[in-house]
Amino acid sequence: MNKPAEAIRTPPTSPPLEIRFGQVGLAQVRIRTTDPGAILDELTGRVATAPHFFERTAVCLDLSALEKEPSTEELKAVVDAVSRAGMIAVGLAHGTATVDALARHLELPVLTYFRPQKTAPPVLPAADPQELTVPALMNHTPVRSGQRVYGRHRDLIVTNTVGAGAEVIADGCVHVYGALRGRAIAGARGDVSARVFCQEFHAELVSIAGVFRVFETIPTELAGKPVQAWLSGDDLRFARIGS
Q: Is 139 found in the same domain as 211?
A: yes
pLDDT in tens, 115-155: 444 433 333 333 334 444 589 999 999 999 989 999 989 99
Which residue among 50, 78, 111 closes a domain? 111
Least reliable range by pLDDT among 102-116, 133-147, 169-183, 186-200: 102-116
For the ranges 79-83, 208-212, 225-229, the lowest mean pLDDT is seen at 208-212
Number of domains in the chain: 2
Please report, for residues 48, 95, 151, 227, 233, the alpha-carbon distance to residue 218 in angstroms, rounded to integers and kept in the order given. 16, 32, 24, 11, 18
The answer to whether residue 89 is domain-embedded is yes
Using CA atoms, how far apart are residues 125 and 77, in angstroms rounded to an integer?
48
CA nearest 230: which of 176, 191, 204, 201? 191
Kindly indicate the confidence band of residue 112, based on its pLDDT and cuts at 50, 70 and 90: low
Mark whether 87 and 150 lie in a shared domain: no
Per the model's pLDDT, the better-predicted residue between 2 and 118 turns out to be: 2
Sheet arrangement for strand 235-240 = 137-139, 156-158, 174-180, 196-201, 227-232, 235-240
Q: Could you list the residue range(s) of the whole structural domain that residue 52 is in?
A: 27-111
Do residues 191 and 227 share a domain? yes
Residue 106 and residue 145 share a domain: no
**Is 19 part of a structural domain of the chain?**
no
* Residue 11 within a domain: no
Q: Kindly give the residue spans of alpha helices, DSSP state H, lying in 86-195.
A: 97-106, 130-133
Share of the chain above pLDDT 70, in %: 79
What is the pLDDT at residue 127? 36
Q: Give yes or no: residues 66 and 162 share one domain.
A: no
98, 193: one domain: no
Q: Are residues 85 and 178 in the same domain?
A: no
Residue 18 lies in a domain: no
User: Using 50, 70 and 90 to split pLDDT, how confident is the model at 157?
Assistant: very high
Same domain, 53 and 142: no
Rounded average pLDDT over 219-233: 92
Q: Write the DSSP symbol of residue 45.
A: H
Residue 118 lies in a domain: no
Span 43-77, pLDDT tens digits: 888 787 777 677 788 888 989 889 998 999 999 99
Examine residue 72 and state whether it is found in any structural domain, yes or no. yes
pLDDT of residue 132: 41
Instruction: Answer yes or no: do 158 and 234 share one domain.
Output: yes
